[in-house]
């Protein structure tokens, strides 16, 4: 009996020691380290900020360009006050061709006459005085006289006998007198530098002063 008890106790002791060793082995064994957590890659550096774009200046406001004014209509032509004096080309007593338009830019005294006309002869000295006046010639005044229907020799004889030297043009076929609607002579047209008729005198002038009073209408 004592022997059996001894065997039992020995067996129990062996079992207990074995169990302790097993337990100790479980405790003292090196623990397996956990798997390392992967390190996330470092973030890429941020892209540099773009350089600021300089502000574009706003275009200056464009003002509307006004349309050019239409050209003024040309004045009507005719032998009347306020109208453009009809142009012409005539031969002078000296044989030159003269046009009224040659004198555009100058005031013109245009006188229609004939040597057989008494009132025409009476006013000739006053026209000559105006022609010789430095006051009026200095202001650009042009004097043109138109003899109606006479020959050059007859006109030349008349001019020499009256000692006249102003320019004479020859309307031998009377066409210009018709165009200017001449109904009696002498007739005088006062034409400004733009070719516009500003005054008409039918009949003879009684003095130089009377002519000058009309000239101020074409020479300010």
- Residue 74: the pLDDT is 78
Asked, for residue 185, whether it belongs to a domain, the answer is yes
Considering the domain boundaries, does residue 133 fall inside one?
A: yes
- Name the active-site residue from 98, 117, 164, 196: 117
Task: Confirm whether 168 is domain-assigned.
Answer: yes
Whether 149 maps to a domain, the answer reads yes
In sequence order, what DSSP letters do the residues of the chain get, joined into one string? -HHHHHHHHHHHHHHHHHHHHHHHHHHHSPPPPPPPPPPPPPPPPPPPPPPPPPPPPPPPPPPPPPPPPPPPPPPPBSSSTTSBPPP-EEEETTS-EEEGGGGTTS-EEEEEE-TT-HHHHHHHHHHHHHHH-HHHHTTT-EEEEEEES--HHHHHHHHHHTT--S-EEEETT-HHHHHTT--SSSEEEEE-TTSBEEEEEES--SSHHHHHHHHTTT--
Q: Which of 90, 110, 114, 120 is catalytic?
A: 120
pLDDT higher than 90, residue 18:
no
Q: Domain for residue 207, yes or no?
A: yes
Q: Put residue 149 in one of left, alpha, beta given phi > 0 → left and psi -120 to 50 → alpha.
A: left
pTM value > 0.75: no
If you count them, how many residues does the chain have?
A: 220
Tens-digit pLDDT profile for residues 79-105: 999 999 999 999 999 999 999 999 999
CATH number at residue 116: 3.40.30.10
Is residue 150 included in any domain, yes or no? yes
Q: Which residue would you say has higher pLDDT here, 30 or 163?
A: 163
Question: Higher model confidence: residue 45 or residue 192?
Answer: 192
Question: Tell me, what's the pLDDT at 43?
Answer: 62
**Which pLDDT value is given to residue 20?**
47
Average pLDDT over residues 64-83: 84
Is 143 a domain residue? Answer: yes
Least confident of 16-25, 51-60, 103-112, 164-173: 16-25
Read off the pLDDT of residues 165-176 as tens digits, 9 standing for 90 and up.
999 999 999 999
Percent of the chain with pLDDT over 70: 71
Query: Would you call 120 a catalytic residue per the annotation?
Result: yes
Q: Is 117 a catalytic residue?
A: yes
Is residue 57 over pLDDT 90?
no
Q: Which residues span the domain enclosing 176?
A: 89-215
| pLDDT tens digit sequence for 160-205 | 999 999 999 999 999 999 999 999 999 999 999 999 999 999 999 9
Tens of pLDDT, residue by residue over 118-155, are 999 999 999 999 999 999 999 999 999 999 999 999 99
Tally of domains within the chain: 1
- The answer to whether position 178 is within a domain reads yes
């Amino acid at each position: 009996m004592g022997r059996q008890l001894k065997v039992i106790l020995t067996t129990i002791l062996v079992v207990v020691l074995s169990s302790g060793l097993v337990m100790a082995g479980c405790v003292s064994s090196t623990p397996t380290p956990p798997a390392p957590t992967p390190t996330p890659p470092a973030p890429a550096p941020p892209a540099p900020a773009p350089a600021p774009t300089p502000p574009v200046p706003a275009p200056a406001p464009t003002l509307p360009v006004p349309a050019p004014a239409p050209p003024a209509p040309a004045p009507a032509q005719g032998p009347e006050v306020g109208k453009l004096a009809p142009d012409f080309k005539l031969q002078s007593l000296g044989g030159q061709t003269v046009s009224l338009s040659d004198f555009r830019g100058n005031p013109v005294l245009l006188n229609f006459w004939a040597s057989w006309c008494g009132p025409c002869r009476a006013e000739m000295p006053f026209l000559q005085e105006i022609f010789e006046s430095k006051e009026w010639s200095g202001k650009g005044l042009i004097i043109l006289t138109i003899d109606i229907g006479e020959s050059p020799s007859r006109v030349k004889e008349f001019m020499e006998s009256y000692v006249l030297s102003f320019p004479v043009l020859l309307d031998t076929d009377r066409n210009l007198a018709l165009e200017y609607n001449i109904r009696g002579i002498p007739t005088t047209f006062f034409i400004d530098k733009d070719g516009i008729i500003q005054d008409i005198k039918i009949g003879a002038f009684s003095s130089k002063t009377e002519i000058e009073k009309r000239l101020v209408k074409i020479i300010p």
